[in-house]
């Protein structure tokens, strides 16, 4: 399953900010490259794999539905 939407990146950024995490902190928590995370949040990644979305949701302490369910 692939998720793709600029709004998804915006939702990830909004949730991260609510948790008072920097991109660098979330990248470290999830084991992702900070530039990769920045590209996701900016909507520069055309597709985000469900595995990546699951890692982000876990790192943010939310479910995938909470993170992407409103899209």
Residue 2 confidence (pLDDT): 45
Dihedral (Cα; 25, 67, 48, 42), 10-degree rounding: -60
pLDDT in tens, 14-56: 999 999 999 999 999 999 999 999 999 998 877 889 999 999 9
- How many distinct structural domains can be found in the chain? 1
**What range defines the domain where residue 58 resides?**
2-68
Q: How many CA atoms lie within 13 A of 5 on its CB side?
A: 14
DSSP state of 32: -
Residue that is written with structure tokens 């948790």 in the block? 19
Q: 40: domain CATH number?
A: 1.10.260.40
Residue 71 confidence (pLDDT): 58
- Whether 68 and 53 have beta carbons less than 8 Å apart is answered as yes
Contacts of 64 (CB under 8 A, 6+ apart): 50, 53, 54, 57
Single pTM value for the model:
0.85
């Amino acid at each position: 399953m692939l998720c793709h939407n600029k709004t998804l990146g915006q939702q990830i950024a909004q949730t991260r900010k609510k948790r008072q995490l920097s991109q660098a902190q979330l990248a470290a928590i999830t084991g992702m490259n900070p530039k990769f995370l920045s590209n996701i949040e900016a909507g520069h990644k055309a597709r985000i794999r469900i595995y990546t979305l699951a890692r982000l949701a876990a790192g943010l302490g939310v479910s995938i539905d909470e993170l992407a369910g409103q899209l």
